[in-house]
Amino acid sequence: MSRLFRELLFGDADIKEYATITVDQQINEKVYLEAGNTLTDISANHWLLCLEPLIFGIWITKQHPVPAGAKQGYQMHFTGPPGNDQQTAKGEALAGLSLDFFDQLNEKDGSLLLLRCRKSSVYHINMIRTRLLYLKYYKKPKVSFPGLKSLAAAYSYPRKVRLVSFRQGDYYNIFPMDLLGGINGGNRYVFGLRHTNTALSRIIGTKKIVVSEVSFEHKETIYRLGSHHSAAPPSADQLPFKVISTKNFGFYIPEWVDSYKEIRIDQTIDLGSHMLLWGEVLDECQLKASAGNLYHIHYLLYLHHKRAGGGYPLV
């Protein structure tokens, strides 16, 4: 009966919190920031950086300023391509967030605006099905229905998975993240690391970190490295793959990564459950062409794509 219930309501028996995909051509979704009378496309320069509370980082250039301050209200609009119901001026509405000012990091060419989520709305499937999905599969002691909606909204834009590396003496760590990103066309990078991450204090102390682009073809290995967030990794010679060292820092990275960046951490901000790390790319190295990256989207967006007869390839 439970399987039949899933198939009747959602058309798919394998219900998850997130779907893992690759993007074969380009990301179809867009994200817009509304502040005052301005509407700015932030698709390429916005990142989810903290989960409790939900906080986004948005890079704002001086050429396209956005009103900022504690009294300013903000809206984020997640949209798909135009063509169906729930239309906006920019496309089909998928989700929306109301946000408040949290903090701001200023650079000579722009600012990293940090916004905290206040409330959310989602339009992927009708609200009755969304509520049933929550009650049947997602209701947990620490996950409220508003919390589900906020995460579903945040992951209505594909979040790329990358590998982060660190090394200090005999200690090293390699782990995957999707709460991170680099400024499009710039040399700045931002990370949101959980306070429980075993490498966090060492990264802050040395002000060094390496981030690698990786192919979806290594999905299972990437996820196994996820245990390194909260536990000590095995010795490097016991890993199920060979490692190489980065050019300047000498940090270990898997031999199969597509590229890597060596980054100096310049500032940190405590966001709540996560610590923001803000740094400058000192060097980068392209090792090989990518077969396609690994991304996360929320299961509600996956259901929306499936209903519309499209979407990204699952991996």
Task: Give me the DSSP letters along 133-181.
Answer: HIIIII-BTTB-HHHHHHHHHHTTS-EE-EEEEEEETTEEEEEEESSEE
Tokens of 127: 């609200």
Other beta carbons within 10 angstroms of residue 292's beta carbon come to: 17
d(CA 280, CA 248): 14
Q: Which of 133-137, 206-210, 252-256, 302-306 has the lowest mean pLDDT?
A: 133-137
The pLDDT score that the predictor gives to residue 121 is 96
Round to the nearest angstrom and report the end-to-end CA distance of the chain.
28
Q: Do residues 155 and 301 touch, judged by C-beta distance below 8 A? A: yes
The pLDDT score that the predictor gives to residue 101 is 95
Report the share of the chain in percent with pLDDT over 90. Answer: 70
Residue 30 has pLDDT above 50, yes or no: yes
d(CA 79, CA 22): 19
The pLDDT score that the predictor gives to residue 143 is 80
Return the bridge partners of 285, or none.
Answer: 260
Other beta carbons within 10 angstroms of residue 120's beta carbon come to: 23
Nearest to 102, CA basis, from 93, 92, 112: 112
Tokens of 141: 């002691």
Beta strand spans in the chain (E): 18-21, 30-35, 38-41, 46-51, 54-61, 73-80, 92-107, 110-122, 159-160, 162-168, 171-177, 180-182, 188-194, 208-213, 243-245, 252-254, 259-270, 274-286, 295-298
Q: What is the DSSP letter of 251?
A: -
d(CA 254, CA 232): 17
The pLDDT score that the predictor gives to residue 231 is 78
pTM of the model: 0.91
Q: Note the maximum CA span of the chain.
A: 60
Residue 87 has pLDDT above 60, yes or no: no
Instruction: List Cβ neighbours of 252 (8 Å cut-off, separation of 6 or more).
Output: 165, 167, 172, 174, 236, 243, 244, 245
What domains lie within the chain, and their CATH numbers? 29-157 (2.30.110.10), 162-293 (2.30.110.10)
The pLDDT score that the predictor gives to residue 69 is 75
Tokens of 133: 């999905």
Mean of pLDDT values over 81-96: 66
Three-state DSSP class for 228?
helix
